[in-house]
Each structure stands twice: as structure tokens, then as C-alpha cells.
């Protein structure tokens, strides 16, 4: 009779076979987007980052299990941020560099040229495409699985990987401790009134108990790691494997192939 250990920190995988991103090795999702991300740093046209942005969105919408909130962020917030950044960079562009392009807007002696808009939105689309590509792994990978893949496939020393994971798990712990402290202050009526000065005073009052809770939690984590002989041996037995399967290789090669096709068709360095 075999028994499989369950990871309480890992999210349950979606049952639908369509949501394939959750079943891929974290390293495969990182390796797949690295070439496109590097290329996007150097391109200067509008179409190339837009194509990769559409590609990343298509893979996310098909292969990831997204909540309503995340869908709203992807479909509404991200385009709004891209538009805001594009407008901002358009206003900051040196007009002397693009004053031969058509004037799109004129207010008094100030002119907004088409070249400025092209530069601004090309930069904003590059940011958006890089972020969307990073979300392929960010939205479908858990911290423990990422660390396990680095330790198992890249041979990163487990002392580094699991120490980083322990530090990463301090973040939700701090959020919980802060929530408990705030509730305790409300029960005692120590809200301090309203206004900006009262808010600053409240947050200063959270520092000492938050630090005390952090120290207690760090001591418990250190004792737990010592009790498990952490660092005593060069290798450790993994709770479960995160293998690099054939489907991971296929995904990486397919994504590289699609990226190469996009670049070959658009060839962003062909002009200017």
C-alpha cells in the first residue's frame, strides 16, 4: 500500500485538462518565455510587443485557472496601465527628435507629435508584454514547487532554496499578525481617532508587536529546521518530486517556435 504525501501549501490542480499551465514544471514556464522577454527589451516597434502581449494573453486565458478578480485585472487594469504609461512617455519624449512627424495635438505652442505617441506606446507595450509573459509562470506556479524544481533540476543547494522559501512564507505570516494586532487594538478602543496624524500614530503602534511576533515566528522556524537536521547533510529527501516531463519539453519548444515565427514575420530590426 503506497501513501502519497500532500503538500498543505500547494494549491489544488484544476480538474479540467485544458488548464495545462498548472501541470507544467515551473522551469518549463520560465524557460519558454526567456527568449521572448530578452528580445522585447531591445525591440522598438509597436507591433512586436503587441503580438507577444496577445500571445501571452491567449496562453493565459486557455491554460490558466483565473479568478474573476484576476480576469478583471488582465482585461481592464493592465490595458489601462499600458495606456497611462504610453501617454506619459509620449509627453516626456524629446520633441526635437520627432518634430518631422505629423502633429496629433496642439495646445498653444505645445505640440504632440505622432512620433512621440509611437515611442511612448511602444515602450508601454514592451512593459505590458514582459509582464504578461512573466504571469505565465507567476499565476500558475506555487512557491514550494518553484523551489523544488530549482533544487531538483538546476541542482541549487537546498540550503539556499528552502531558506528562501522560509523567508517567502514570512510575508503571509506578517499579514496575519498585522490583522490580529489591528483587531486587538479595535477591541481595546485604541484606534486613536481620525485624520492623517492618527493613522500615522496607529501604524507606529503596530511596529513593536509586529516585530515581537516576527521574532517569535523566526525562533519557531529556526527550531523546526534544527529539529529536522536542516543543513546537516549535502542532500535531503524531497517530500515529492517535481519532474521535468516530455510535455514540459514540448511546451518549451512550441513556445520558442511560435516566438521565432512572430519575430521572423515581423522582423522588428528590418527598418530604422
**Residues 154-178: pLDDT tens digits?**
888 888 888 877 777 777 888 888 8
Same domain, 120 and 188: no
- The per-residue pLDDT of the chain, averaged, comes to 83
The residues, any chain, with a CB within 8 Å of residue 225's CB and separated by 6 or more, are 166, 231
Question: Does residue 194 sit in the same domain as residue 144?
Answer: no
Instruction: Over range 3-13, report the average pLDDT.
Output: 45
Q: Is the pLDDT of residue 24 over 90?
A: yes
Which has the closest alpha carbon to 159: 228, 217, 214, 218?
Answer: 228
Give residue 246's pLDDT.
93
- Answer yes or no: do 142 and 164 share one domain: no
Is residue 38 located within the same domain as residue 167?
A: no
Under the banding of pLDDT at 50, 70 and 90, the label for residue 13 is very low
Quick: pLDDT tens for 226-266.
787 777 777 777 777 888 999 999 999 999 999 999 999 88
Q: How far apart are CA 73 and CA 58, in angstroms?
A: 15
Least reliable range by pLDDT among 10-14, 29-33, 102-106, 115-119? 10-14
Across the range 108-120, mean pLDDT stands at 85
Cell 516566438, located at residue: 259
Give yes or no: residues 89 and 203 share one domain. no
Is 261 in the same domain as 203? Answer: no
Query: Which pLDDT score is estimated for 76?
Result: 93
Q: Where residue 75 falls among pLDDT bands split at 50, 70, 90?
A: very high
- Domain of residue 212 covers 158-227
Please indicate, yes or no, whether residues 198 and 77 belong to a single structural domain of this protein.
no
Both 143 and 179 in a single domain?
A: no
| Counted domains in the chain | 2
Amino acid at each position: 500500500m503506497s501513501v502519497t504525501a500532500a503538500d498543505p501549501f500547494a494549491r489544488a490542480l484544476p480538474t479540467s485538462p485544458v488548464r495545462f499551465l498548472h501541470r507544467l514544471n515551473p522551469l518549463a514556464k520560465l524557460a519558454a518565455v526567456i527568449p521572448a522577454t530578452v528580445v522585447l527589451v531591445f525591440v522598438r516597434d509597436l507591433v512586436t510587443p503587441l503580438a507577444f502581449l496577445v500571445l501571452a494573453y491567449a496562453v493565459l486565458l486557455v491554460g490558466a485557472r483565473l479568478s474573476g478578480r484576476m480576469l478583471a485585472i488582465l482585461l481592464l487594469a493592465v490595458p489601462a496601465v499600458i495606456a497611462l504609461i504610453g501617454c506619459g512617455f509620449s509627453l516626456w519624449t524629446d520633441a526635437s527628435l520627432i518634430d518631422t512627424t505629423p502633429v496629433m495635438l496642439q495646445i498653444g505652442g505645445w505640440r504632440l507629435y505622432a512620433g512621440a505617441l509611437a515611442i511612448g506606446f511602444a515602450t508601454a507595450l514592451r512593459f505590458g508584454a514582459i509582464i504578461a509573459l512573466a504571469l505565465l509562470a507567476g499565476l500558475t506556479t506555487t512557491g514550494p514547487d518553484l523551489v523544488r524544481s530549482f533544487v531538483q533540476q538546476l541542482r541549487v543547494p537546498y540550503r539556499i532554496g528552502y531558506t528562501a522559501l522560509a523567508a517567502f512564507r514570512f510575508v503571509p505570516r506578517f499579514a496575519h499578525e498585522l490583522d490580529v494586532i489591528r483587531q486587538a487594538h479595535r477591541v481595546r478602543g485604541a484606534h486613536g481617532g481620525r485624520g492623517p496624524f492618527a493613522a500615522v500614530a496607529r501604524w507606529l503602534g503596530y511596529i513593536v508587536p509586529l516585530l515581537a511576533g516576527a521574532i517569535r515566528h523566526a525562533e519557531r522556524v529556526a527550531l523546526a529546521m534544527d529539529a529536522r537536521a536542516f543543513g546537516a547533510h549535502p542532500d535531503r529527501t524531497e517530500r515529492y518530486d517535481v519532474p521535468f516531463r516530455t510535455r514540459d519539453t514540448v511546451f518549451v519548444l512550441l513556445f520558442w517556435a511560435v516566438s521565432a515565427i512572430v519575430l521572423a514575420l515581423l522582423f522588428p530590426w528590418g527598418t530604422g
